[in-house]
Amino acid sequence: MTKKVVIIGGVATGMKTAARLRRRDPEVEIIVLERGPSLSYGACGFPYFIGGDVASFSKFDHTPQGIPRDAAFFRDVKGIDARTGCNVTAIDRAAKKVTYVEAGEEKQLPYDVLVLGTGSTPVKLPLPHADAGGIHSFWFPWDVQAVDQELRERNVTDVVIIGAGFIGMELAEAFHKRGLTTSVVEMQDRVLPQMLDKEMADRLEKPIRAAGIQLYLAEKTTGFTEEAGVVTGVVTDKRVIPAQLVIVAVGVRPNVELAKAAGLKLGPTGCIAVNEYLQTSDAAIYAGGDCAENTHRVGGAKVFTPMGSTANKHGRVIADNICGDRIKYPGVLATGVCQILDWQAGSTGLNERTAAAAGFKFKSVVVPGQDRLAYMPGAKSLIVKLLAEEGTGRVLGVQAVGMGGVDKRIDTLVAAISLGATLEDLSNFDIAYAPPFNGPIDNIATAANVLENKLAECFRGVNPKDFEAVRDHEDYLFVDVRTKGEFAKNRIAGIKQMVNMPLGEIRAHCQELPVKEGQKIITSCQIDLRGYEAEVILRGKGFKNVCSLEGGMSAWPYATECDEK
Amino acid sequence: MTKKVVIIGGVATGMKTAARLRRRDPEVEIIVLERGPSLSYGACGFPYFIGGDVASFSKFDHTPQGIPRDAAFFRDVKGIDARTGCNVTAIDRAAKKVTYVEAGEEKQLPYDVLVLGTGSTPVKLPLPHADAGGIHSFWFPWDVQAVDQELRERNVTDVVIIGAGFIGMELAEAFHKRGLTTSVVEMQDRVLPQMLDKEMADRLEKPIRAAGIQLYLAEKTTGFTEEAGVVTGVVTDKRVIPAQLVIVAVGVRPNVELAKAAGLKLGPTGCIAVNEYLQTSDAAIYAGGDCAENTHRVGGAKVFTPMGSTANKHGRVIADNICGDRIKYPGVLATGVCQILDWQAGSTGLNERTAAAAGFKFKSVVVPGQDRLAYMPGAKSLIVKLLAEEGTGRVLGVQAVGMGGVDKRIDTLVAAISLGATLEDLSNFDIAYAPPFNGPIDNIATAANVLENKLAECFRGVNPKDFEAVRDHEDYLFVDVRTKGEFAKNRIAGIKQMVNMPLGEIRAHCQELPVKEGQKIITSCQIDLRGYEAEVILRGKGFKNVCSLEGGMSAWPYATECDEK
């Protein structure tokens, strides 16, 4: 008798499991039950439909040859029985059957193996007037079509997005591109708060604000104003922001109701708990995609990381294990990347918050540079932040913001961190070098070298956000070692005691610095290479209390001033 | 007494060693002896000066702030005594001193530690008229300035480059951009022969030829024609190619004369042999950069891989070890990347030739795709070739050619291969995913999955070059499973028995295929995803001898035909 596999959910995990299963086994019976009208659609591209980069919604649910990925396609091409409009209402684990409703009729289906790919649902704000017209989530195809319709049919001039995560920021770009007045309200104190440490997010803020997107950070949405049932504004704890269209993008929660009702174990994140083979607490039931819990590869914490890319990987592993393999899914790094206007931001592994939560003793460094040889046409700024464990030098995580090359460095670190790399490993990777692609010492190797220096305490860097916190009250002499011309053009604002002494003069003239006995010296330059050289020279000359400002002017996210203003 | 470190060679390894050493130790005496007039110049950018991307030669030997990196700079800023025009003629290891000639005067210098960063020299062709005017190497600053002068002062319309390696191809682009008739002569049967397997190089050939650069491959240069002492043409074993300017870029050899005369051990590649701490056979003498031998991280072969990026890494390791550390340099992956017109090519690790030479039993796969979600603006074609060891699934090497995203995939694999990744590792990397950067399943993961299928023999792919070799005489039925429209537009030329049956019809109609008993079926589509599906379906339907054409039309480098022609 052939094995019967029932899959609940026909989007990423579900259809990937089904397709792989069929390729491996022409005999197994595969039935997919999807409650919605669409199968195997690509939700990650939705913001680009709103922004106009993707001209037709059909790109998301048709093959590249224009064939709809519907039930007929899956039957004829993939040999899969995929049924839309089938809402599963119960799982009977003892009898190994599911109950579902199709066109109002309750039906039952036995299974040998069950796969849960039930996905996730956007979180709603339990606030006054939250169900007014013009307020939307942005997750399912019908959300996107509703937003698109609003834009076409109503006179929308002001959009407010609540939540500055991936979807919020991608949508901010999309609405901005359409010429709408676009605002983002975020409860936390930064954009992309899951992904970026404060000083990295702060650096990204500048170009976003400069482009004209309003950011209201550390600001809590408390309600909405409406007229005749249609939203007119977003109320925060600080202001009312006019809006004819509001997107609530404050996150999603895993769809676990079915699993919970069936007595399957949930994990600490509220997702369905799975073992490394992606089996639930019932060995005959697998779970994958947004509804399933992931394990972080650094530190081992359980995490909720809903990503289409992860869902696809889950599908493959589940299919292989159904076929009798024992493939382990090794977990995630909570990798993320986001294009915002001309800027890019990405991260993988742990950041300051998650590294501390995981109990690591670590140091970090912020290192700016260019994404290729600086004199090459098209060279773009790129700031890398690297975290490593003290003692072992194990790389814990990386963040990058810049105008180019962010994704390359993140992916390189994904491979490195997944395989347990140390800073010394990073330092010696034989990275592809040619002037259009990189400098002779890659940004990652540079960051690793600087962080090695910091762990060895031959570099004493101060993080920009830490310096900003003490900038106006601590006692220190700030020595900017750039050229006179660079110094005149821009420098950090509001420093009481600042001296400009170009690096070339430091060796000969450092004794002339107006530093008091025991006073701290903070050196700085454009990217903190010269600042670091100055720090080392000064220490060599007998100055005891010297450090330098990590990332220099290039990574400085806060106020600056210039002679010409 | 302070330690005295003498460094021979003041370009990449030498100046990096010196700078790092000074930062770590303010006391150590550091003297650099450089025979040429320039210090610390960036030779890798030279082709981009000829092509006009880099407007001024000073970009190569000045800091980004426009300060010349000359002896005064290194003295004042770096605290290093760097002497140009100092030609070292002998090393007396017993007495620990070097003899050098400065301004015609012979001098001696004692050392405690000696560092050899003597670099490499271009190979000359021992051919008739090889010293005629207009024939140049392209390696040292004076080479570049001579070529630049020729272009400015003589009426050059035709340039021939001998050698289709990195420098040859970068220069081909440079001359082509200047509007010159540009030809490349290469003795081997492909462009970038060190880096690419035949079918990958062949795929790259198409756009290079289409742009108007002449390629004469598998063609041996036998001499030159000249008039009045100036070159007029390049003579090969097949033709004479007119040329007023010729660049000989057939490789370089390590400068080991000094080391050899001093009795230091050379390795099998002819480079200076070093241990993992980069010490030569004399523990007081280190060697790094082009003159030093490298170890390949996969397979352990000794290799000559002259790269500026490697030279910098060597310098850092040498400096740290001089300071008393015991840092191991782990070796190289022979990584390379090259931009040619709108195309990119890269590789890391082993290719078919080097993997076979290293004794690995391996399989490979060619997988085309796009560098991001196919429907996103700016999506570019990208073909990946992956090699893995049979049995273990260990990743041995990767090659990529395409119009975008090559460097990212190469660097990700650099990290992966350096740390011993298997295909399963690649398959599960949590690669950064968002539509502007990638698809939900990264190209590398796709290639890894396909190669896993191939190793498990559930995918039976035929490499394009292997198919091309038997295309016109073997007995097989070729089944193109693309749509009728795709088939009409382009298909592989010269196949005797070809059928177009779209994938959606295969399950229902495969029994109608005009296949003879036992005859081989080769399936194909655009990228071999549908071809693979068809292969699996046909096998499931009982056809025994089925395989599919790896990479489909997208990776097919050879002749095609269409209905409209």
Contacts of residue A418 in chain B, CB cutoff 8 Å? 425, 428-430
A23 touching B, CB under 8 A?
A: yes
CA distance A432 to B356: 23
For residue A346, name the pLDDT band (cuts at 50, 70, 90): very high
The C-alpha of B504 sits at a distance from chain A's nearest C-alpha, in angstroms, of: 5
CA distance A450 to B66: 24
Contacts of residue A421 in chain B, CB cutoff 8 Å? 415, 419
CA distance B156 to A409: 42
Residue B563 has pLDDT above 90, yes or no: no
Indicate yes or no: CB of A337 within 8 angstroms of CB of B449.
no
Give residue-wise pLDDT tens across range B425-438: 999 999 999 999 99
B438, B432 contact by CB (below 8 A): yes
The C-alpha of B229 sits at a distance from chain A's nearest C-alpha, in angstroms, of: 35
CB contact burial B151-189 (16+ within 10 A = b; e otherwise)? beeeebebbbbbbbbbbbbbbbbbbbeeebbbbbbbbbe
> In chain A, which among 509-548 make CB contacts under 8 A with chain B?
532-533, 536-537, 539-541
Indicate yes or no: CB of A536 within 8 angstroms of CB of B23.
yes
Region A59-72 average pLDDT: 93
Predicted confidence at residue B1, as pLDDT, reads 67
B404 touching A, CB under 8 A?
A: no
Q: Are strands A362-370 and A381-389 parallel, antiparallel or unpaired?
A: antiparallel
Residue with tokens 């009728």: B484
Amino acid at B191: V
CA angle in degrees (0–180, nearest 5) for B505-B506-B507: 100
Closest-CA residue of chain B to A421? B419
> In chain B, which among 198-257 make CB contacts under 8 A with chain A?
none
Give residue-wise pLDDT tens across range A403-434: 999 999 999 999 999 999 999 999 999 999 99
SS3 state of residue B2: coil
The C-alpha of B305 sits at a distance from chain A's nearest C-alpha, in angstroms, of: 11
Facing residue for A437 by CB, picked from B76, B308, B337: B337
Region A461-485 average pLDDT: 96
Phi-psi group of B519: left, alpha or beta (phi > 0 → left; psi -120 to 50 → alpha; rest → beta): beta
Indicate yes or no: CB of B433 within 8 angstroms of CB of A307.
yes
CA angle in degrees (0–180, nearest 5) for B512-B513-B514: 110
Indicate the average pLDDT of chain A.
96
β-partners of residue A133 are: A230
Contacts of residue A26 in chain B, CB cutoff 8 Å? 536-537, 539-541
DSSP string, A67-80: -B-SHHHIIIII--
Indicate yes or no: CB of A415 within 8 angstroms of CB of B416.
yes
The C-alpha of A314 sits at a distance from chain B's nearest C-alpha, in angstroms, of: 9
Is the pTM for the entire model greater than 0.95?
yes
Contacts of residue B170 in chain A, CB cutoff 8 Å? 434
CA distance A370 to A145: 40
Contacts of residue B309 in chain A, CB cutoff 8 Å? 430-431, 433, 438, 440-442
Dihedral angle of Cα A70, A75, A81, A87, to the nearest 10 degrees? 10
Active site positions of A, annotated: 44
B449 touching A, CB under 8 A?
A: yes
Contacts of residue A458 in chain B, CB cutoff 8 Å? 23-24
B436 touching A, CB under 8 A?
A: yes
Indicate the average pLDDT of chain B.
96
Give residue-wise pLDDT tens across range A262-302: 999 999 999 999 999 999 999 999 999 999 999 999 999 99
- Residue A142 CB neighbours (<10 A): 13
CA distance A310 to A278: 12
Q: How far is CA A537 from CA A78, A400, A526, B81, B279, in A?
A: 67, 29, 18, 16, 28
Predicted confidence at residue A564, as pLDDT, reads 62
Closest-CA residue of chain B to A68? B504
CB contact burial B449-479 (16+ within 10 A = b; e otherwise)? bbbbbbbeeebbbbbbbebbeebeeeebbbb
Indicate yes or no: CB of A440 within 8 angstroms of CB of B59.
no
Residue B378 has pLDDT above 80, yes or no: yes
Residue A563 has pLDDT above 90, yes or no: no
Within 8 A by CB and 6+ apart from A208, the residues are A172, A191, A215, A340, A341, A343
Predicted confidence at residue A1, as pLDDT, reads 67
Facing residue for A432 by CB, picked from B407, B431, B508: B407
Give residue-wise pLDDT tens across range B104-157: 999 999 999 999 999 999 999 999 999 999 999 999 999 999 999 999 999 999
B425 touching A, CB under 8 A?
A: yes
Predicted confidence at residue B521, as pLDDT, reads 98
Facing residue for B45 by CB, picked from A375, A437, A486: A375
Predicted confidence at residue A397, as pLDDT, reads 98
Selected residue of A406, A429, A443 to mutate for chain B interface (largest B Cβ count, 10 A): A429
Residue B564 has pLDDT above 90, yes or no: no
Q: Tell me how many residue pairs between chain A and chain B have CB atoms under 8 A apart.
A: 263
Closest-CA residue of chain B to A438? B407
Predicted confidence at residue B555, as pLDDT, reads 96
Which ranges in A154-282 belong to alpha helices (H)? Answer: 166-177, 198-210, 257-261
The C-alpha of A539 sits at a distance from chain B's nearest C-alpha, in angstroms, of: 9
Residue B473 has pLDDT above 80, yes or no: yes
Residue A2 has pLDDT above 90, yes or no: no
Give residue-wise pLDDT tens across range A82-129: 999 999 999 999 999 999 999 999 999 999 999 999 999 999 999 999
> How far does CA B114 lie from the centroid of its chain?
31
> In chain A, which among 280-299 make CB contacts under 8 A with chain B?
297
Contacts of residue B487 in chain A, CB cutoff 8 Å? none
Closest-CA residue of chain B to A77? B504
The C-alpha of A219 sits at a distance from chain B's nearest C-alpha, in angstroms, of: 27
Sheet of strand A181-185, all strands in order from the earlier edge strand to the far edge = A135-136, A245-248, A158-162, A181-185, A214-216
Residue B304 has pLDDT above 90, yes or no: yes
Give residue-wise pLDDT tens across range B76-94: 999 999 999 999 999 999 9
Tell me whether residue B105 is exposed, middle or buried, using C-beta atoms within 10 angstroms of its C-beta: 0 to 12, 13 to 18, 19 or more: exposed
Which ranges in B51-186 belong to alpha helices (H)? Answer: 71-73, 141-153, 166-177
Query: Within 13 Å, how many C-alpha atoms sit on residue B203's CB side?
Result: 30
Give residue-wise pLDDT tens across range A215-262: 999 999 999 999 999 999 999 999 999 999 999 999 999 999 999 999
Predicted confidence at residue B2, as pLDDT, reads 86
Residue B379 has pLDDT above 80, yes or no: yes
A408 touching B, CB under 8 A?
A: yes
The C-alpha of A128 sits at a distance from chain B's nearest C-alpha, in angstroms, of: 34
> In chain B, which among 328-357 make CB contacts under 8 A with chain A?
329-339, 344, 346, 348
